[in-house]
Amino acid sequence: MKKKVCPKCNSTINFLDVFVAGLPHLVKCSNCGSNINFRYNSYILYSVVGLLIILLFFAGVFLSNLLIGYIPIKKRYIRITILVLMAVILDCLLSFWLLNFASIKDGENSIKANDKNIKKHDLPKDTWDIVIEVARLIAGPNVEVHVISFIEKVREIGKNENEEYVILNYAESVFGKNIVEWFGDDDLKYTDLPCAAFKTSLNSYGLMEYLDGKIIFDPEEMFFSLNRLLKTLSLEEINIIEKQKIDKNIITAGTDQNKIANVILSEFDDIAKKRGYNVLWFDEDSDSYSYFIVKPDVYEKLQTMRLDENHKFYRPRF
């Protein structure tokens, strides 16, 4: 079964997390402390659990009666021990079922309704709508119209054409030599198109940057990428003082590559915040790290949001 992860911090939800909670709605992430909401029919689940409690109770009473006379301790202690054992068995069964057969809800899997431009009943209903609304928030007023127009056109073409090259030709006609596209995959399905259009549009307009998994530990490469995005947004590039601070912190981290990577990620955040922005990381189920630089209000709306099963915003952990 696929491992369960916390939608907020991307940490693995393990058996102990669920077992200690006792009940599904009480499960919390052991790393960030956020509530983990499983998808299940509460009426069916708690009916089954209630039935199991009754069965295990009578099984416990029956077993304790069998043991009385064979074990030289008081009857009540035998009964209490057996009933506690049955409760542990029930908890183990429930924990096993949740981790292997129930999925985790993404509590922030829709844009928060406090966006003044979005009414609660207008929240996105499918992946296309989610992608378009997220792209609108990231793109900002300068290129919003162009970004949304491109995604809408891909949506329209995708409904009528089965050949990926039709969409690819359209993308090349829009972006020319600046194109960074995801339409050339022979296995691309219609359900993959929303995020492919999302990434192609934002990356080709210079609003999305990548850090390959092989260079994530290389400060120079990472900050070259950051400077390029800062420039696109007309923000101040990294200055000498910031570079010196970065170099000092990297030296303090020693030779541990994980520590170095975490230092650099922290510096990314600090640099963006000094300019009134936040770094928004994007997981697309690959060995590379993509990110955006967005306003704090946009960051708050999107920081743990999922676009589809392979694409979500998150905080990298090493």
pLDDT higher than 90, residue 295: yes
The pair of structure tokens assigned to 26 is 């009480």
- CA dihedral (111, 117, 123, 124) positive or negative: negative
Q: Provide the residue count of the chain.
A: 318
pLDDT of residue 201: 92
The pair of structure tokens assigned to 153 is 């056109």
- For 2, left (φ over 0), alpha (ψ -120 to 50), or beta? beta
pLDDT tens by residue, 134-146: 999 999 887 888 9
Residues 68/82, Cβ–Cβ less than 8 Å? no
User: Distance (Å, rounded) from C-alpha 124 to C-alpha 127?
Assistant: 8
- 277-to-42, 138, 230, 246, 299 alpha-carbon distances in Å: 41, 12, 10, 19, 8
Q: DSSP for 97-126?
A: HHHHH-PBP-TTSS--TT-TT--GGGS--S
pLDDT tens by residue, 253-265: 777 777 777 787 7
Report the predicted TM-score, pTM, of the whole model to 2 decimal places.
0.59
